[in-house]
Amino acid sequence: MSVFSPPLFSPPLFSSIKPHYPVVIIGGGPAGSVAATRLAQQGIDALLLERDQFPRFHIGESLLPNGNRILKEIGVWDKIAAAGFIEKRGAQFTLADRSRTVRNVFAQGWVPGLEMTYQVERARFDDILLRHAQSAGAQVCEQTPVTSVTRVDNQWQIQAEYQGQPLTITADWVIDASGRHCVMGRTMKLEKSPLPYPGRMAVFNHFEGMARDSGEAAGDIMVMRLDDAWFWAIPISPRVTSVGVVLQKNSKREKGESWESLFWQKIGESPFFNAALASAKAVGEYRIESDYSFSYEAFGRDNCLLVGDAASFIDPVFSSGVYLALESGLLAADTIVDALKSPVMANSPALYANYTRSMKVQIGYMRQMIDVYYDNDACEVFMAPRPLLHLPQAINSILAGALKPGFAVRWRLLLFRLICRLQKYRPLVPRIEWSKTKSL
C-alpha cells in the first residue's frame, strides 16, 4: 500500500476556532470537502469537523467520468491527475463462468466528454480533496468527533471534542457529510423512504498481485454476477486490487464463520476469480459493510442540508457513491451561498424541496440500472446488448454518471426498461442458466 507523507497543514490551535460560523460541515469525505472548498471559494467562512485523522481507509474506490467536471470546477483536478491513480476508461460486466462479458467503453457513450476517469485509493484521494479545501481557505479540524447538535434560537449548536477538549460552536447552517453516521438525520429524526431492497452485505479486502487484463482494459472495474451474489475487482495501484463480494445479509454463512472464510467460499464459485487470486496476497484485514441501502425522504430542513451517504446510499454496483457525493456537496454549497444572500430564501420550504428533488432525480436514474442488474430476467438483457437505436450508448452514458440526461437518453432508457420487462414473459435475448454460472 502507499506510504503517506505527513499532512501539509498543521492543525488549527484551539484558540483559533471561532465561537460562530456561517456554515459548519460535519465530515471530511468527498462531499464535505467539495462543499467546504466551494464555500471558501465563494468567500464564506466555513468550519469542517472530521472525526478521523486523514489519510484513512475508505471503501468505494471507483469514480465516474461525470465527476471530473466537479473536480475541475473546484480546481482540484490537476492534483488528482498528478497523483498517479489508475486510469479508468471502461467497466466490464461478466458472469462467473465468463460465458458472457459486456465492456462499457465510456468514450462510446451518447454524452460527449465522459471518456475517462480514475480508480483511486480512497485514503489518498480523500486526503487530496481535504487538503485542497484547506488551501482554498476552509478551516479543518480533524480528530474532532461531533457529540451532539441542538437547535437553539434559530441556530445550530454543535458540541464536539477537539484534541481532547470540549468544543462548543454555533452555526447558521450545517452541512451533514457524516456518511452512514447520519449525524443530522438522526438528530432531526428525519423520516426514511421505504426501499424495496433486501438487506445486503459486502465483504472485501485489498490484494497485491491479482492477475489483470492487459492494455487499456487493465484499468477497468470488473463486476461479476453470480446467481445470488456479485463481485467487484478495482485496480487501485499498479500492484493492488480491491476485491469484494456482495450478497444478501448472512446468506449461506455458517454460525461462527469468519468473514474471511465467507469471502473465499464465494470466490470458490467463480473460476475466474479463483485463478486470478491464486497467487495474490491480502494486504489488509477483511472488512464488512451491511444494511447500507437507505434514503431519507427529505435531504434538508431548518438550515441543514444532507450530502453524500448521509442523505442516501442505494447500492455499490455501479460505483455511483463518490459521484453523487461530489454532486451533492457542490449543490449544497451553492444552495447555501444563495440562501445567505437572501435570508427569506433560507426559510422557504422550496429550498429544501428543490435540493432534495435535484439529487433524487439523479439517484433515481441510477436506481433504474441497479434494479435491472439485480433482476435475473432484466440482467439477461443487460448482458446481451444490441445496437438497436443506440441503446447501449445511452446506457453507457448513465453508467458514466450522466444522471441529468436529455431526451435522447431518457426515451432510450425507457425503451430499454420495457425490453427488460418483456424478457420476463418472452425471451428477446438468450436466457442465462444462472444455476450453472458458478460451477467450476
- Whether 311 and 240 map to the same domain: the answer is no
Domain carrying residue 303: 14-85+120-193+294-360
Has residue 5 got a pLDDT over 60?
no
Q: Note whether residue 5 is domain-resident.
A: no
- Whether 77 and 145 map to the same domain: the answer is yes
pLDDT-derived band at 436 (thresholds 50, 70, 90) equals low
Mean pLDDT of 96-113: 91
Q: Note whether residue 243 is domain-resident.
A: yes
Q: Are 48 and 28 in contact (CB under 8 A)?
A: yes
pLDDT at 250: 67
- Whether 146 and 187 map to the same domain: the answer is yes
Q: What is the pLDDT of residues 261-294, one digit of tens each?
A: 989 999 998 888 999 999 999 998 999 998 899 9
* Residue where a domain stops, chosen among 360, 384, 402: 360
Q: Are 146 and 48 in contact (CB under 8 A)?
A: no
- CA dist., res. 273 & res. 264, Å (int): 10
Query: Residue 132: which CATH number?
Result: 3.50.50.60
Mean pLDDT of 24-36: 98
Q: Biggest alpha carbon distance in the chain?
A: 70
pLDDT at 404: 96
Q: Note whether residue 185 is domain-resident.
A: yes
Q: Note whether residue 242 is domain-resident.
A: yes
Has residue 210 got a pLDDT over 60?
yes
What the block records as the C-alpha cell of 84 is 498517479
Q: What is the pLDDT of residues 292-317, one digit of tens each?
A: 999 999 999 999 999 999 999 999 99
pLDDT at 241: 97
Mean pLDDT of 77-92: 97
- Whether 36 and 168 map to the same domain: the answer is yes
* Residue where a domain stops, chosen among 360, 376, 401: 360
- Whether 348 and 260 map to the same domain: the answer is no
Please work out, in degrees rounded to the nearest 5, the angle formed at the alpha carbon of residue 23 by the alpha carbons of 20 and 27: 110
Q: Note whether residue 328 is domain-resident.
A: yes
pLDDT at 8: 59
pLDDT at 257: 80
* Residue where a domain stops, chosen among 360, 384, 408: 360
pLDDT at 4: 46
- Whether 248 and 343 map to the same domain: the answer is no
Q: Provide the domain count of the chain.
A: 2
Mean pLDDT of 165-191: 96
- Whether 189 and 332 map to the same domain: the answer is yes
Has residue 198 got a pLDDT over 90?
no
Has residue 2 got a pLDDT over 60?
no
Q: Note whether residue 137 is domain-resident.
A: yes
- Whether 278 and 218 map to the same domain: the answer is yes
Query: Residue 239: which CATH number?
Result: 3.30.9.100
Q: Note whether residue 50 is domain-resident.
A: yes
Q: Are 138 and 48 in contact (CB under 8 A)?
A: yes
Mean pLDDT of 324-344: 94
Residues 6+ apart with CB under 8 A from 130: 28, 33, 48, 50, 54, 140
Has residue 64 got a pLDDT over 80?
yes
pLDDT-derived band at 155 (thresholds 50, 70, 90) equals very high
- Whether 153 and 33 map to the same domain: the answer is yes
- Whether 126 and 138 map to the same domain: the answer is yes
Q: Note whether residue 225 is domain-resident.
A: yes
Mean pLDDT of 148-176: 95
pLDDT-derived band at 97 (thresholds 50, 70, 90) equals confident
Has residue 121 got a pLDDT over 60?
yes
If we measure between CA atoms, which residue out of 68, 73, 65, 77 comes closest to residue 111? 65
Q: What is the mean pLDDT of the chain?
A: 93
- Whether 303 and 277 map to the same domain: the answer is no
Mean pLDDT of 115-142: 97
pLDDT-derived band at 161 (thresholds 50, 70, 90) equals very high
- CA dist., res. 109 & res. 309, Å (int): 27
- Whether 19 and 163 map to the same domain: the answer is yes
